Structures are given as structure tokens and as C-alpha cells.
Amino acid sequence: MIINHPILGPRDSAEFTYMGDAALLDRPDWQAKDALLQFIDYGYLRDNPAGPHTELWYHEQGDQSFLVITRDTTTHEISSVKLASDVARGRGRSK
């Protein structure tokens, strides 16, 4: 699988480490009334979809950047690659 890194260009997926669901970028509000329940869900519940899924990948054997990749889990086709720092700041988020 080839990942088209936003800065470095096309790279083999062997250079990367899968870090899980990109929903981990959206941490719960620690001051919310139900913060404990939100953090339990945040820490333990994950989706396992068949189809498009937004994932967090780490470029371990490269520039050590984190990427948010939208990938179809049934075909491994990648439809979007963004720097996680841009997504966390809201610049790369597509909602």
C-alpha cells in the first residue's frame, strides 16, 4: 500500500505504524459533568467499520509525523491523507 505523504510524497506503508482510530484526536472535555463516562468511552470504545475509516498513522521510518488517513478497510484504497497537526487545528478537517 502506498501512502501519499503531504510533504514527502508517495511512501510505502512499511515506513508507517498504524496508531488506531483518528477519533483519538478529539479528546473529551475534562471539565464536563459526565467527563468520567466520556473518557471511558474515549479510552475503550472503537469502531471497526467495513468501508471508509479515518485512521491515525505514524511515519516511524521517516520524518516522525502523524498523518490522518481516510482508507477503505475492505479495499485498502486511500482517499485522503492529511497532517494530523493540521486536522487537530481544524485546517484539514472535512466535516
Q: What is the dihedral of CA 87, 91, 92, 95, to 10 degrees?
A: 100
Residue 12 has pLDDT above 90, yes or no: yes
Confidence of residue 15 (pLDDT cuts 50, 70, 90): very high
Q: Please, is 83 exposed, middle or buried when counting C-beta atoms within 10 Å of its C-beta (0-12, 13-18, 19+)?
A: middle
As a whole-number percent, the residues of the chain with pLDDT over 90 amount to 74
Residue 26 has pLDDT above 90, yes or no: no
